[in-house]
A and B are shown apart, each in its own frame.
Chain A
């Protein structure tokens, strides 16, 4: 147990992982500038005047031409007036960074066009050096809201089931790792992103169909998670590193890998090569694209398999035993390290598959996993920290809440609803839905 002998091993693992990821050829094309690093460039305020229906193709957007837009320095003089071109695009170069206001002249609108919100004729903005800022004046009625009523609710429930199953699948590993080792692993989100990116690599760069790329991503994701246990977490446990220290280490790794993904993949989100254009089919009041149906079916199958694994197999029982009480499990002859490694591999593979399904629904991006991390935490806390089934139930509820709440709450605030629910649950039942009632703290 000499900590000093462990140190080089840890360092080597870090160095190896980094070297591998840095050497791997960048999988994408041009990188989107995320960091406004180029200080030489002048500042620009630009925008597109359209009615933004919010559909992904943007083909049906009505573009507004010939409208005058004026940019002024706040409390200062006019910088320039421009007229939108036939594609509704306008752009004003701004000589100095600072605060500006952009005003749209509604008297130059063509017939029939009007601002969605009359009070937002003047928009204030501020520019950092070299920054390009996009200002949009939405035109026409807000068409993003779908029609209300029961049909809408049914639609949301189906979407919520899909989303809930996906984050449930992703969160099983997070919850079981917590249960078996006590580690709150912030870098779990990066395992999700990693899975989606590996599938993207096999799908778009190598050219395999997604049906083959997804299992490969699961294998690679599981292996990566297993290696992280062998190379980082097991040595840390041997060193008797505290749980909070390990939590902070996982935050460091999360930042490291998130920006490594950005470095390799770029800031743009990109779709997989398959199943992009699908016609929705109507089932009763619900219209759903086939890939979402397959996603629900696949998630259910995988989760049933996981349930079987946990309930019926020897290793599954050992996993639950270690999650319940590691010391007792160890003293009854269970090889805890082996079980923990198995938990990491399983959790990593499930996270990777969840990432692929998530990327299928939206698109693949460098922080797609990180965006879901808080919802995963909310789900597993809600269900009962450390249990596999609790993670599922809790995440399923969180997914449903997030989607269904958009009937009443603006969709930009749907994560807020889930997080508020989380805080509320902690007030009433801190051990979660399936957690054992114990005195905590």
Chain B
């Protein structure tokens, strides 16, 4: 058993692309679900909008990638408004169904042949990220230490990604401590009470939906520039559920909950994956129970089981406060 490589893989997963993308997605969900009590099941749609907004601006409209980032964020705002207008006045589960429908509409449209001219169909788009790497101040390399040794380009997007995570966290931290944030929490606790105090609940919910959606779209942008490609099936509803798992694991309605959750989630996934693969290579696993291709499936089964058990036995996650999470659909 090559324990060093298993541990190194896990350590790398904790700072890699997936940890950054899911941290951003989960910070957005934290604004929706943790602080406001909105059940947004369409976070994958916001990630897709972020990634495709950037890519299409560059490949189809032939503009710079910096305009692409702007377009992506603007598109996320528009998407949040579109999803929010019909549903935010309704019960929580309606928002859940409409947002999940919205994210599937986006995925089905971008992977279709009909819009293939803009989106590249099921193969997606690539070679749009050059503008981002041209301004890379790092040269040569490798950078980092221990298991974390990266080329200049990789280090560049890792730095930018984690900076975005830090900025989003800081922004959310400041906002939820403001009077604005206290209104959000009061809406989560009792919408009618907030309304009877004269707060425009619909407007506050909409602002929360937009803010969380935009942070989610940053996750999509990081995904696009780090892989230098966008592909529609990277934005399936499973992504949303994984982001929820990360959020609940770390602790919803907590400043560092989403980051902690995303990092632990991917370290655990990489660890089980590497461990099972090593055991498989050393023939420690009977072929009848688990073959090479089934390792990925077992991993997903563990995620599902983990999410269910977590929600039943420790809904507040690692850092959360149980009293803050007595949510219920009205």
Contacts and interface: CB of A to CB of B under 8 A. Distances in A.
Interface of A: 7, 10, 14, 18, 22, 31-35, 37-38, 74-75, 99, 123-126, 133, 135, 182, 184, 236, 239, 241-245, 247-249, 251-260, 262-263, 374, 377-378, 381, 385, 410, 412-413, 415-416, 419-420, 422-423, 426-427, 430, 440-441
Interface in B301-319: 301, 303-313, 315
B194 interface: no
A139 to B, nearest CB: 15
22 contacts: A7-B313, A99-B127, A182-B329, A241-B312, A242-B327, A242-B329, A245-B312, A247-B93, A251-B244, A255-B241, A255-B300, A255-B304, A262-B297, A263-B294, A263-B297, A374-B100, A385-B93, A412-B114, A415-B104, A416-B108, A430-B90, A430-B94
Contacts of B310: 252
A440 B295 CA distance: 45
Interface in B262-313: 277, 289, 291-298, 300-301, 303-313
A74 B329 contact: no
The 8 closest A-B pairs by CB, nearest first: A255-B304, A35-B296, A252-B308, A256-B304, A252-B307, A259-B300, A419-B101, A243-B329
B91 interface: yes
Contacts of A249: 307-308, 311-312
Contact of B305 (A18, A75, A184, A412): A18
Contact of A419 (B93, B104, B326): B104
B86 to A, nearest CB: 4
B127 A74 contact: yes
Contacts of A7: 313
A75 B133 CA distance: 16
Given A245-B327, A256-B305, A99 B300 contact: no
Contacts of A133: 123
B90 A440 contact: yes
B228 A99 contact: yes
B105 interface: yes
A327 B102 CA distance: 35
Contact of A126 (B98, B126, B241, B311): B126
A241 B229 CA distance: 42
Given A7-B313, A422-B98, A31 B291 contact: yes
Interface string B2-18: 00000000000000000
Given A412-B112, A413-B114, A441-B89, 4 more contacts: A242-B326, A247-B329, A256-B304, A263-B297
B304 A31 contact: no
Contact of A259 (B93, B100, B304, B327): B304
Contact of A440 (B91, B113, B241, B311): B91
Given A99-B127, A124-B127, A245 B296 contact: no
Given A31-B291, A440-B91, A263 B298 contact: yes
Nearest to A23: B289
A182 to B, nearest CB: 7
B126 A99 contact: yes
Contact of B101 (A32, A258, A423): A423
B248 interface: yes
Contacts of A419: 101-102, 104-105
Contacts of A243: 93, 328-329
B81 interface: no
Contacts of B86: 423, 426-427
A259 B248 CA distance: 21
A259 B306 contact: no
Contacts of B28: none
B251 interface: no
Given A33-B293, A35-B296, A441 B308 contact: no
Nearest to A75: B127
B123 A124 contact: yes
A126 B301 contact: no
B128 to A, nearest CB: 10
Given A10-B312, A247-B96, A412 B105 contact: no
Nearest to B240: A251
A13 B292 CA distance: 29
B114 A410 contact: yes
B95 to A, nearest CB: 10
A29 to B, nearest CB: 12
Contacts of A412: 108, 112-114
B193 to A, nearest CB: 14
A14 B105 CA distance: 34
A317 B315 CA distance: 36
Interface string B73-106: 0000000000001110111111011101110110
A261 B107 CA distance: 24
B250 interface: no
A385 B102 CA distance: 19
Contacts of B191: 441
Contacts of A263: 294, 297-298, 301
B238 interface: yes
Contacts of B304: 251-259
Contacts of B87: 426
Highest count of chain B CB atoms <10 Å: which of A33, A239, A426: A426
A31 B289 CA distance: 12
B225 to A, nearest CB: 14
Contacts of A385: 93
Contacts of A241: 312
A386 B185 CA distance: 29
Contacts of B306: 252
B127 A236 contact: no
Contacts of A31: 291, 293-294
B109 interface: yes
A386 to B, nearest CB: 11
B39 interface: yes
Highest count of chain B CB atoms <10 Å: which of A7, A236, A256: A256
A255 B238 contact: yes
A252 B304 CA distance: 4
Interface in B236-257: 238, 241, 244-245, 248
Given A99-B127, A255-B303, A374 B104 contact: yes
A257 B301 CA distance: 7
A375 B231 CA distance: 24
Contacts of A422: 97-98, 101
Contacts of B109: 413, 416
Nearest to B228: A99
Contacts of A377: 97, 100-101
B177 interface: no
Contacts of A22: 289
Nearest to A414: B108
B330 interface: yes
B120 interface: yes
Contact of B301 (A35, A99, A259, A416): A259
